[in-house]
Amino acid sequence: MNADVLIKKIKALKIQGAKNVALAGLEALNIYASEIKSGNKEKFLKELGSKAGVVASSRPTEPALRNSISFIMRRLYRCRDVTEIRKTLSAEIAEFSENIESTIKKIGEIGARRISNGDVVFTHCHSNTVIGIFRRAKLEGKKFSVVCTETRPMNQGLITAKELAKMRIPVTLIVDSAARTFMKKCDMVIIGADAITSTGDVVNKIGSSTMALIAEDLKKPFYVAAGTHKVDPATAQGFLEVIEERPKKEVAKKINGVEIRNPAFDVVAARRITGIITESGVMPPQNVYKLAGKFN
Ligand code: RUB
């Protein structure tokens, strides 16, 4: 696979979801590195550094991607020569990828404990981490069902619905505007996350904050499932999470005299989150920043 093609796929949402984006970004970085000819350490790192910038900015609201790239680049700057850089790059990519997989597995185990027989769980968009919880609960023999929104404008909810149907988990697909109607009959909401800020706010697919408001109104527990590698350290330094604005054509064809806007994400306030299900346990949102580790 060509690295530029991978980046195009990330930008076009052909690869989506924080986990998939981070792993594809690392793959692109690895391919870019394999194409660098220079045997000089400084020149090699300069070239790779500029490619790392391209990869990291392919989706602006993805700290998991940025954190993975900066974790790896930090390691590479400590290498003696290009041979060591190449070896280290493969090893660090493997370590980060394994960490993401084991994080999702752990969150699956912890999150599944919140699901009981007969529960109806509401979700929005498509999250590998949330799917991991459903997979685990199903594996444990729990009988539950899921309501998922289609998630306009790119309909990632269909990916969720199809994955659940494949696992034989009963699933109902609804339009986003039917959220309140269906959430009334749900026992809890579980969504994924793209970013967790230092104050515990969560950035996730557009509409997530609306789902949180509805859940608050209906007094339903509202959980976020996300690994601590999604904590954005820049938010502790005063930077606000950048919200990606996507092409207008995803929403509608050009209409004269009409402004079209397409923000990809919004912010769920920490106070509306019952708990963030992390690999270290179910945490109050404000505590998650303290769990940030070597991958942030
Ligand atoms: C996807 C989205 C998901 C998180 C989940 O947005 O908001 O909830 O990325 O992450 P998009 P994970 O489709 O625009 O990428 O898969 O790591 O749980």
Tens-digit pLDDT profile for residues 31-85: 999 999 999 999 999 999 999 999 999 999 999 999 999 999 999 999 999 999 9
pTM of structure? 0.97
- Sign of dihedral through CA atoms 12, 17, 23, 25? positive
Query: Which domains are delineated in the chain?
Result: 3-104 (1.20.120.420), 108-291 (3.40.50.10470)
Cα-flanking dihedrals φ and ψ of residue 171, to 5°? Answer: -140, 140
Helix orientation angle between 128-139 and 157-166, rounded to the nearest 10 degrees: 20
CB of 19 shorter than 6 A to ligand 1: yes
Helices marked H in 57-197 — which ranges?
A: 63-77, 82-112, 128-139, 157-166, 179-183
Cβ atoms of 189 and 223 within 8 Å: the answer is yes
Cα-to-centroid distance, 77 and ligand 1 (Å): 30
pLDDT in tens, 100-138: 999 999 999 999 999 999 999 999 999 999 999 999 999
Please state, for a pLDDT cut of 70, what percent of the chain lies above it.
100
- In this predicted structure, what is the pLDDT of residue 198? 97
Helices marked H in 1-81 — which ranges?
A: 3-11, 18-35, 41-56, 63-77
- In this predicted structure, what is the pLDDT of residue 295? 83
286 burial (CB, 10 Å; 0-12 / 13-18 / 19+) is middle
The model's confidence at residue 294, banded by pLDDT at 50, 70 and 90, is confident
Cα-to-centroid distance, 160 and ligand 1 (Å): 11
* Shortest-distance Cα residue to atom 8 of ligand 1: 192
Cα-to-centroid distance, 47 and ligand 1 (Å): 30
Q: Write down the residue that tokens 């515990």 correspond to.
A: 200
- In this predicted structure, what is the pLDDT of residue 157? 98
Say if residue 293's pLDDT is above 90.
no
The model's confidence at residue 1, banded by pLDDT at 50, 70 and 90, is confident
CB of 156 shorter than 6 A to ligand 1: yes
Mean of pLDDT over the chain: 97
CB of 242 shorter than 6 A to ligand 1: no
Strand order in the sheet with 265-268: 195-196, 202-205, 265-268
d(CA 29, CA 89): 9
Choosing from 148, 176, 186, 194, which is the catalytic residue? Answer: 194
The model's confidence at residue 290, banded by pLDDT at 50, 70 and 90, is very high
Active site residue 79: no
d(CA 135, CA 58): 30
Q: In the predicted model, what is the mean pLDDT of residues 265-272?
A: 98
> Atom of ligand 1 at shortest distance to CA of 62?
9
CB of 62 shorter than 6 A to ligand 1: no
CB of 160 shorter than 6 A to ligand 1: no
Q: In the predicted model, what is the mean pLDDT of residues 219-242?
A: 97
> Atom of ligand 1 at shortest distance to CA of 22?
17
CB of 89 shorter than 6 A to ligand 1: no
Say if residue 296's pLDDT is above 90.
no
Cα-to-centroid distance, 193 and ligand 1 (Å): 6
Tokens for 94, please give them: 């493997």
Active site residue 125: yes
- In this predicted structure, what is the pLDDT of residue 208? 98
